[in-house]
Every structure is written in structure tokens, then in C-alpha cells.
Amino acid sequence: MSLHQAAMDGKITDIIALVEEKNVHINELQDGWSPLHLAAHFGHLEIVKYLLENGADVHVKSGNSMANTPLHAAAANRKNRKEMIGLLLSHGADINEQQSGGWTILHQAAQHNDSEMISYFIEQGADPFLAKGDGKTALELAEDEECLEAASLLRNYTLNKI
């Protein structure tokens, strides 16, 4: 089994065995993704902890057109996003990291009308004034997408900061 497959499948014993063999490159990209991207996306908290403790790069960019980090992958996880994102942030991930097109995880949450995660990301230091590549902030994106809850929350937050 490859490190990438074990990370995707949540097989911690296989991960440990592969890493201890020292024949694997913990930050190697396969199909554009690192093992950390995959474990974060699929919600395997124990594996993410282990990978980070054993040299996984929290800033590694995917080798595909998305050019995202494990933090972006974690934000797409529906299983345990808050815990996963908190863990990655505690290991130096940047809450305002931009992927291809300038998208942040706050933009992602705004587009999905996810007010719970918007609040969490802002509490963690997400910048609601940060624009993506087309110049749109999370608020402008939420308004364009007619994500009413997200837009209302972001509008209240940004008005209170001006």
C-alpha cells in the first residue's frame, strides 16, 4: 500500500510502518496531492497529527491547477473540519493562504453559505477584506451567489470593523 492510499483510507498502522521504513517521501505529491492533503480532506485526524509530527509540510501546495494547501483540503472535509483546521493552524498553517485564483477558505465558506464555518474562520483570524484574484471579497462573493446568511454575517462583521 502506498502512503497516499493509506492516508486516504485512514490506515494509521500502514502510515506508521511506511514512514518508519524511511523509504517514503512524506511530502511527495501523487496525482497532485500530498499524504497530508488526503488525510486532511478525508478527516483522518490521527493521521494528520502523525504526519505533522514526522515532517509533513503544512504549507505544501498541490501539484495541480488548484495549487491549494492541506488547509484548503481540510476546509472541504465535512467530517471534523474545526478540529482538523485547528490542528493545521497550530502547526503553522496560514488561515489566509490563497489557492489558485486567490481563493481562501473564507471565500469557500461564503460560496457555500456556511455561516458556522465563516464565524469559525473569522475567530481564527481569517481576513474578510482579503480579495481573491478577481478582486472580490468573501462578502462580495456571497452576495453574487445569493448566499444570504453568509452575506449577512460577513456584512455585519465587516461593518463592525470599519
Task: Report pLDDT digits (tens) over 7-38.
Answer: 999 999 999 999 998 778 999 999 999 999 99
CB atoms within 10 A of CB 13: 8
- What are the φ and ψ backbone dihedral angles of 12, each rounded to 5 degrees? -60, -40
Domains of the chain listed by start with CATH number: 1-94 (1.25.40.20), 95-162 (1.25.40.20)
Task: Report pLDDT digits (tens) over 108-159.
Answer: 999 999 999 999 999 999 999 999 999 999 999 999 999 999 999 999 988 8
Please list, in sequence order, all residues whose beta carbon lies within 8 angstroms of the beta carbon of residue 29, skipping any fewer than 6 positions away. 60, 62, 63
Q: Rounded to the nearest 5 degrees, what angle is found at the Cα of 127, between the Cα atoms of 123 and 128?
A: 95
Please list, in sequence order, all residues whose beta carbon lies within 8 angstroms of the beta carbon of residue 5, skipping any fewer than 6 positions away. 11
Task: Report pLDDT digits (tens) over 53-107.
Answer: 999 999 999 999 999 999 999 999 988 999 999 999 999 999 999 999 999 999 9
Name the residue among 73, 41, 33, 39 with its Cα closest to residue 53.
Answer: 39
